[in-house]
Structure 1
Amino acid sequence: MCVEKTPWEQVIDFHGHTCPEISVGFRVAQIAMRELGIRPTPSSELTVTANTHSCALDAFQILNRATYGRGNLLVNETKEHVYHFQYTGTSEGILISIRPELLEHLAEAHIHTSAREKQNKYLEAIQFILGTEETQFCALQKV
């Protein structure tokens, strides 16, 4: 018997481990799917532009089908957690910016003294990211 994996499990399998940044990407990808609807057609495909290289990008590859290889996952490195989702050939798009307070919480997760402490802080950060209200997680802007 084959059991289908959840989207979270698919992202983790692709990325190779759980970490706070992959949970950011998972949450952002879900918000983009809800706001724009992921509806690839032969003439229109979703393009994602990230303003930072991070583990979050792996979630976009799995959930939003935006990949480096096809050229519809781009990085404009400014070291900001800002993500732009737009369908090619349309003016429909959304800009998702992670709130600074949440990023401070992410930074705290990287402070540790032992492997167990690191693991515990990562789990706490992941739960916080996935469980916090959307208005406290990010700002949305239609573009």
Structure 2
Amino acid sequence: MCVEKTPWEQVIDFHGHTCPEIALGYRVAQIAMRELGIKPTPSAELKVTAQTHSCALDAFQVLNHATYGRGALIVEEQGQHNYMFEYTGTTVRVFITINPEILDHLVIPKDLSSRREVQNATLEAIQFLLSSEESMFCSIQKE
């Protein structure tokens, strides 16, 4: 019997482990698709421009099918968690900016003494990122 993996499981398999930045990317990818709300034509594809290299980008590759290899995932390194999603051939763009106070949850404290404490802190951060109020999580601008 074959069991289909959830989108979350697919992202984790692709990335190789769970971490807060994967949760951030997972959430951003879902918000972007909801906000775009359109299906591309056969000649259009989703392009993502990110302003930082991070684990979050792997979620975009899996969930949004915007890969480096096809040139659909572009990084303009500025060290900021700002993302633009757009379909080629359309004028619709969605800009998602992560609120600064959310970024504190991406870093797991280094002074934790046991592997269990690190795992617990990681799971708490992931849960926070996936369940925080959207207005607290990010700002969304649609053009």
**What is the TM-score of this pair, normalised by structure 1?**
0.94
CA apart distance, 1:134: 0.5
What does 1:11-90 align with in structure 2 at a 5 Å threshold? 11-37=11-37, 39-90=39-90
CA apart distance, 1:142: 0.9
**1:98 is matched with which residue?**
98
Work out whether 1:134 is the aligned partner of 2:131: no
Identity between Structure 1 and Structure 2 (%): 68
Structure 2 unaligned regions, length at least 5: none
For 1:38 and 1:26, locate their aligned partners in 2 and report how far apart those are by CA, in whole Å. 19
For 1:92 and 1:15, locate their aligned partners in 2 and report how far apart those are by CA, in whole Å. 29
Structure 1 unaligned regions, length at least 5: none
Distance 1:123 1:115, change over 3 A: same
CA RMSD in angstroms, aligned pairs only: 1.2
For 1:4 and 1:40, locate their aligned partners in 2 and report how far apart those are by CA, in whole Å. 25
CA apart distance, 1:38: 5.9
**What is the TM-score of this pair, normalised by structure 2?**
0.94
CA apart distance, 1:116: 1.9
The SS at the match of 1:140 is strand
